[in-house]
């Protein structure tokens, strides 16, 4: 996961250098581009790098194919059809012993009830809550460090926040489970000791550094000419920060938020330990326990026999989770590109 | 990333094992005759580790690997051929028996290895004396939500349950809930130790698990639907008076042989049964020691 953070900050840095390169005279470029005089090893190296880049894309495609291959047979397998109806995976049903149609995840029992809706609600609830906590915190922190903090403070605070990203999630989960949960229950009087709120705090601790690092880079990358011009026109410092620097840095900050979201929805260990893992169908109450998609896969995949309907449904969960993060990443990227275009055009 | 990697790896192995079809009748056991892999019940994992240690001390050069994960995990490993023996705190399901026959073409052999009283835990601060099985069912179904309805103080009940790969979960579901579903509000925790930890910290909490873990919490007397409350003691479990007493079991795929047989002989010997008591479970009653069912 940290690679992704690095990769993103690398991207912003690359964007900066690109600007620099484009200022260079054209003659230098044409010399490089002429293929007649290019030494052989240049061409070999170019191919090699292209292959490496393609390998990453290929790996992702293969992972998707492998996960999907385990899930898709549910469409025609007799063993699956005997136990589960596909529509019950997504819609409420009035099971025997219940008074009304319900969304239930009870994969062990007769009949097994696999409804994925409460799991996705759980995942989204925890993730959104964690984003609500970490976006203001991460961006605020980044603005302070980039614009206000004296050098000495910056040099201590920045590495410390980035160190947070290095704490293994199992340690954060343990902390949330033992310390945060008791504190939250004593302070707010929650019915559930382990709940969405506690898990979200744990998650927020992991995504604050992601959002902070990328936002801070984006803010640093805002050309000083902009701030200097605004200051020269008599703007106050906070006006410069809020109306000049922040809007100019928004594409970078948005990239950080998208990455943070992906990290949060895919996080497993913290939610497995601190969320209580009860698949409760409840949209808004964040003091109830939740069961996330990731925690479900982690807790149950080891148990099932290969090819079992339960096994197929768990892989379906994996496919759906993959789909959600994939689509969100693409939407995020599109949004950022649009923003960038609008900002540079005006 | 790691998860994706794991999925990738497991889907690869599944594909391979299917291509080979019925070829892999040999297991880790036949390939390396001095190693034994045991997986399964979390309830039994400490017990099995103690057995393995004592067995390895007595038989140098032989290696036993024990891991937990839940009875369902052990059965899945037996079916997938990644373990030689499966610990289970519940009987094998018909479905698992069929899958074993289909995938590996073997009959399963069952050994009763210890006796356990499945205890119901409440925090030490909860003064409730006893609960009946119907009361327990109503509590874990989510129909009774306050302790005052079962004779306790006015406090809402917080349910702690186990992951559904757990044999204890399956046993409780079958014998207390009569195969109905747990309330959706029941929090599922990995392992009995986690349940104990959670219950001890939650004044309204209630949980269940093996008797050997019951430290820092209080065990409640349990009464059958029409009977007196019974304490989960060795006598009551052995005599069958305690309504939630159960055998802990080991399953082998096919007839146990080689090191698996030696290990099972050791487990059922007097030395092995002494270890059971040391860990906190109850040794088998004398007449039931033979492989049964």
Residue B45 sits in a domain whose CATH number is 3.40.190.10
Whether B5 maps to a domain, the answer reads no
Nearest chain A Cα distance for residue B217, angstroms: 17
Chain B residues inside the 8 Å CB shell of A268: 3
**Above 0.95 for ipTM, yes or no?**
no
Residue A285 phi/psi, 5° resolution? -75, 110
Residues B150 and B224 in one domain: yes
CB contact under 8 A, A299 and B188: yes
Task: Indicate if the pLDDT at residue A36 is higher than 50.
Answer: yes
Whether B165 maps to a domain, the answer reads yes
Whether B25 maps to a domain, the answer reads no
Task: Indicate if the pLDDT at residue B138 is higher than 60.
Answer: yes
Whether B140 maps to a domain, the answer reads yes
Residues B109 and B135 in one domain: no
Residues B218 and B145 in one domain: yes
Q: What pLDDT, on a 0 to 100 scale, did the predictor assign at position B249?
A: 92
pLDDT tens digit sequence for B27-82: 444 445 688 999 988 888 889 999 999 999 988 888 999 988 888 888 888 888 88
Residue A5 or residue B19, greater confidence: A5
Whether B10 maps to a domain, the answer reads no
Whether residue B89 contacts residue B68, with contact meaning beta carbons closer than 8 Å, is answered with: no
Task: For chain A, give the mean pLDDT.
Answer: 85
Chain B residues inside the 8 Å CB shell of A306: 10, 14, 17, 76, 79-80
pLDDT tens digit sequence for B108-136: 889 999 988 889 999 999 888 889 999 99
Quote the DSSP letter at residue B39.
E
Q: Which residue of A has its CA nearest to B146?
A: A191
pLDDT tens digit sequence for A267-286: 999 999 888 888 888 888 88
CB contact under 8 A, A305 and B186: no
Whether B160 maps to a domain, the answer reads yes
Nearest chain A Cα distance for residue B179, angstroms: 7
Nearest chain B Cα distance for residue A108, angstroms: 6
Q: What pLDDT, on a 0 to 100 scale, did the predictor assign at position B290?
A: 41
Residue matched to tokens 């960038």: A340
Spatial separation of the C-alpha atoms in residues A261 and A270, rounded to whole Å: 15
Omega into A224 within 30° of 0, i.e. cis? no
Spatial separation of the C-alpha atoms in residues A239 and A221, rounded to whole Å: 18
CB contact under 8 A, B181 and A182: no
Chain A residues inside the 8 Å CB shell of B164: 106-108, 300, 303
Nearest chain A Cα distance for residue B204, angstroms: 9
Q: What pLDDT, on a 0 to 100 scale, did the predictor assign at position B22?
A: 39
For domain A103-344, the question of CATH label 3.30.420.590 is answered with no
Quick one: what percent of chain B has pLDDT higher than 90? 24
Range of the domain at B271: 35-116+248-290
pLDDT tens digit sequence for A140-176: 999 999 989 899 999 999 999 988 888 998 999 999 9
Quote the DSSP letter at residue B234.
H
Q: Which residue of B has its CA nearest to A186?
A: B202
When pLDDT is cut at 50, 70 and 90, the band that residue B23 belongs to is very low
Residue matched to tokens 């044999």: B167
Phi-psi region of B69 (alpha: psi -120 to 50; beta: other; left: phi over 0): left
What ranges do the domains of chain A cover? 16-73, 103-344
Residues B58 and B132 in one domain: no
Residue A92 or residue A321, greater confidence: A321
Residues B68 and B49 in one domain: yes
Whether B237 maps to a domain, the answer reads no
Q: What pLDDT, on a 0 to 100 scale, did the predictor assign at position B10?
A: 39
Spatial separation of the C-alpha atoms in residues A284 and A287, rounded to whole Å: 9
Q: What pLDDT, on a 0 to 100 scale, did the predictor assign at position B289?
A: 43
CB contact under 8 A, B73 and A302: yes
Task: Indicate if the pLDDT at residue A18 is higher than 70.
Answer: no
Task: Indicate if the pLDDT at residue A112 is higher than 90.
Answer: no
Residues B103 and B144 in one domain: no
Within 8 A by CB and 6+ apart from A2, the residues are: A165, A166
Residues B132 and B109 in one domain: no
Give the Cβ contact number of residue B236 at 10 Å.
Answer: 18
- Of the listed ranges A56-60, A171-175, A339-343, B188-192, the least confidently predicted one is A339-343
Residues B270 and B187 in one domain: no
Nearest chain A Cα distance for residue B269, angstroms: 30
CB contact under 8 A, B69 and A302: yes
CB contact under 8 A, B185 and A66: no
pLDDT tens digit sequence for A287-326: 889 999 999 998 888 777 788 888 899 999 999 999 998 8
Spatial separation of the C-alpha atoms in residues A245 and A18, rounded to whole Å: 21
Pairing of strands B187-189, B158-162: parallel
Q: Which residue of A has its CA nearest to B194?
A: A273
When pLDDT is cut at 50, 70 and 90, the band that residue B3 belongs to is very low
Spatial separation of the C-alpha atoms in residues A177 and B82, rounded to whole Å: 32
Residues B104 and B138 in one domain: no
Nearest chain B Cα distance for residue A315, angstroms: 8
In chain B, the number of structural domains is: 2
CB contact under 8 A, B7 and A113: no
Quote the DSSP letter at residue A176.
I
When pLDDT is cut at 50, 70 and 90, the band that residue B240 belongs to is confident
The partner residue sitting opposite A318, judged by closest CB among B7, B69, B103, is: B7
Q: What pLDDT, on a 0 to 100 scale, did the predictor assign at position A1?
A: 45
The partner residue sitting opposite B3, judged by closest CB among A97, A268, A277, is: A268
Q: What pLDDT, on a 0 to 100 scale, did the predictor assign at position B257?
A: 82
Nearest chain B Cα distance for residue A244, angstroms: 38
- Of the listed ranges A8-22, A259-273, B213-227, the least confidently predicted one is A8-22
Q: Which residue of A has its CA nearest to B78?
A: A305
CB contact under 8 A, B158 and A300: no
Q: What pLDDT, on a 0 to 100 scale, did the predictor assign at position A300?
A: 85
pLDDT tens digit sequence for A48-67: 999 999 999 999 899 999 99
pLDDT tens digit sequence for A196-243: 999 999 999 999 999 999 999 999 988 889 899 999 999 998 999 999
Q: What pLDDT, on a 0 to 100 scale, did the predictor assign at position B2?
A: 37
Whether residue B31 contacts residue B24, with contact meaning beta carbons closer than 8 Å, is answered with: no
Domain boundary pick from B202, B231, B260:
B231
Q: Which residue of A has its CA nearest to B15?
A: A70
Task: Indicate if the pLDDT at residue B24 is higher than 50.
Answer: no
Whether residue A175 contacts residue A202, with contact meaning beta carbons closer than 8 Å, is answered with: yes
When pLDDT is cut at 50, 70 and 90, the band that residue B15 belongs to is very low
Spatial separation of the C-alpha atoms in residues B196 and B206, rounded to whole Å: 9
Q: Is B240 exposed, middle or buried (0-12, 13-18, 19+ CB in 10 A)?
A: exposed
Chain B residues inside the 8 Å CB shell of A301: 6-7, 10
Quote the DSSP letter at residue B146.
B
Residues B227 and B162 in one domain: yes
Quick one: what percent of chain A has pLDDT higher than 70? 88
């Amino acid at each position: 996961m940290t690679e992704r953070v690095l990769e993103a900050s690398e991207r912003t840095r690359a964007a900066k250098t690109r600007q620099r390169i484009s200022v260079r005279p054209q003659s230098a470029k044409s010399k490089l581009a002429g293929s007649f005089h290019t030494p052989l090893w240049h061409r070999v190296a170019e191919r090699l790098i292209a292959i490496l880049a393609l390998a990453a894309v290929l790996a992702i495609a293969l992972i998707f194919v492998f996960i999907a291959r385990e899930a898709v047979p549910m469409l025609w397998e007799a063993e699956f059809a005997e136990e589960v109806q596909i529509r019950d995976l997504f819609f409420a049903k009035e099971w025997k012993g219940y008074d009304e149609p319900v969304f239930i995840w009870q994969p062990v029992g007769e009949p097994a009830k696999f409804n994925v809706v409460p799991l996705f609600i759980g995942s989204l609830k925890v993730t959104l809550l964690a984003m609500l906590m970490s976006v203001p915190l991460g961006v605020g922190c980044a603005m302070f460090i980039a614009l206000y903090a004296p050098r000495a403070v910056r040099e201590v605070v920045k590495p410390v926040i980035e160190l947070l990203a290095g704490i293994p999630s199992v340690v954060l989960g343990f902390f949330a489970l033992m310390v945060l949960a008791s504190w939250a229950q004593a302070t707010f009087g929650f019915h559930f000791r382990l709940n969405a709120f506690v898990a979200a705090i744990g998650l927020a601790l992991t995504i604050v550094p992601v959002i902070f690092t990328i936002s801070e880079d984006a803010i640093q990358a805002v050309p000083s000419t902009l701030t200097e011009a605004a200051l020269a026109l008599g703007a106050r410092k906070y006006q410069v920060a809020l109306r000049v620097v922040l809007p100019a840095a928004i594409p970078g900050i948005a990239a950080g938020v998208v990455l943070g979201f992906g990290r949060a929805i895919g996080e497993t260990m913290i939610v497995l330990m601190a969320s209580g893992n009860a698949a409760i169908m409840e949209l808004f109450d964040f003091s109830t326990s939740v069961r996330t998609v990731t925690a479900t896969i982690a807790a149950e995949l080891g148990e099932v026999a290969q090819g079992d309907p339960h096994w197929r449904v768990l892989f379906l969960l994996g496919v759906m989770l993959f789909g959600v993060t994939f689509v969100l990443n693409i939407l995020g990227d599109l949004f950022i590109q649009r923003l960038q275009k609008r900002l540079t055009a005006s | 990333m790691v998860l994706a990697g794991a999925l990738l790896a497991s889907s690869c192995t599944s594909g391979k094992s299917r291509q080979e079809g019925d070829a892999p009748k040999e297991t880790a056991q036949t390939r390396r005759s001095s190693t034994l892999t045991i997986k399964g019940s979390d309830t039994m994992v400490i017990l099995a580790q103690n057995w393995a240690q004592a067995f390895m001390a007595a038989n140098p050069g032989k290696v036993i690997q024990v891991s937990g994960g839940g009875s369902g995990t052990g059965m899945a490993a037996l079916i997938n051929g990644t373990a030689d023996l499966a610990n289970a705190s519940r009987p094998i399901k018909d479905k698992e028996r069929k899958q074993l026959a289909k995938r590996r073409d073997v009959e399963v052999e069952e050994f009763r290895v210890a006796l356990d009283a499945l205890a119901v835990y409440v925090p030490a601060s909860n003064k409730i004396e006893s609960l009946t099985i119907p009361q327990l069912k109503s509590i874990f179904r989510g129909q009774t939500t306050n302790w005052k309805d079962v004779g306790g103080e006015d406090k809402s009940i917080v349910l702690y349950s186990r992951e559904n790969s757990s044999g204890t979960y399956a046993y409780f579901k079958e014998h207390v809930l009569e195969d109905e579903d747990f309330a959706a509000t029941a929090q599922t925790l990995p392992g009995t130790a986690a349940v104990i930890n959670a219950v001890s910290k939650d004044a309204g909490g209630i949980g269940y698990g093996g008797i050997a873990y019951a430290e820092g919490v209080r065990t409640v007397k349990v009464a059958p639907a029409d009977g007196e409350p019974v304490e989960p003691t060795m006598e009551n479990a052995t005599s069958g008076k305690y309504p939630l007493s159960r055998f802990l079991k080991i399953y082998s795929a096919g007839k146990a042989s080689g090191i698996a047989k030696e290990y099972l002989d050791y487990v059922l010997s007097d030395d092995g049964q002494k270890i059971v008591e040391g860990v906190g479970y109850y040794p088998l009653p004398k007449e039931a020691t033979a492989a049964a069912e």
